[in-house]
Amino acid sequence: MLRRLLRPAAPALWLAMLGAVALAARSSATNPLGHPPRPAGKITITWLGHASFLVVSPGGTQLLLDPWLRQNPSTPDSLKDSSRYHPAAILVTHSHFDHSGDAKAIALASGAPVVGSYDWVQTLGLPAAQVMGLNVGGTVKVGDVTIHAVPAVHGSVPDGRPMGFVLEFADGRNLYDTGDTWIFGDMALIQELYRPAIILLNVGGGPFTENPQTAALAVRKYFRPNVIIPMHYGTFPILASAADVRAAFRGDRRLKVMTPGETRVF
């Protein structure tokens, strides 16, 4: 019966099915929150602007990275409201406002723990169950994701120290969030230990962090990712623009320049 139904209608049916798949892919790219897309076995990444991301693991664990939303000029208005986020954990690379600005509010609203530098997380005044302090070399597990704290060359006044994070997924892939670091030689050890397939790469430049050219050199010199997602640019005129980022990577097809609010699946 099924074969008889399929055979005469096959071309039209397949076209319709392909259309539905294309539509689903498109809607998952434009409807990141409220109903986060969760394609099984995939890593879903939504850029919330600047250094803020929502990452959903292949097993469905939602991690909010460096949430700075309400005052972030690059965050779309529809994504600024803290109450819409229900992550399994909030990860903060360092205490500067453009990385930690909404961490406490979202933690209080959602009950999610904050993962960050031990000395800084202690200062938030959160219930003990929501304090997940780490230091470089440390590891915590949240849902099906193992989170490793790695070094970053930057500042974190008044509290804690700057870090990057490596998210180790159950499917064997790793994602490296560089934080605000400059290039440094121990990136070779991050590659040796974790071989990240996806890098959320600070490229902002200006007075605060490495510029796109130096960030591109860091990837060329130390890493072999499949996907490079630039961040920390375009938020203010003093930072690098998307055109600057593209120019520095000279057509590298691994570079995925996203728009704030956009979701991609890997």
Residue 210 near Zn ion by CB under 5 A: no
The span from the CA of 41 to the CA of 60, in Å, is: 9
Site membership for Zn ion, residue 180 (CB under 5 A): yes
Q: Does 66 bind Zn ion (CB under 5 A)?
A: no
The minimum distance between CB 240 and Zn ion, in angstroms, equals: 13
Say how many C-beta atoms besides its own lie within 10 A of residue 232's C-beta. 28
Cβ closest to Zn ion, residue 98 vs residue 210: 98
Residue number, 98 or 168, with CB nearest to Zn ion: 98
For tokens 């406490």, the residue is: 104
Binding to Zn ion in span 95-114, by CB under 5 A: 98
* Choice between 46 and 209, CB closer to Zn ion: 209
Q: Give least dist CB 257 to Zn ion, A.
A: 19
Output 68 or 85, the one with its CB closest to Zn ion: 68
Size of the site for Zn ion (CB under 5 A): 2
Q: Which of residues 111-140 bind Zn ion (CB under 5 A)?
A: none
> Which parts of this chain interact with Zn ion (CB under 5 A)?
98, 180
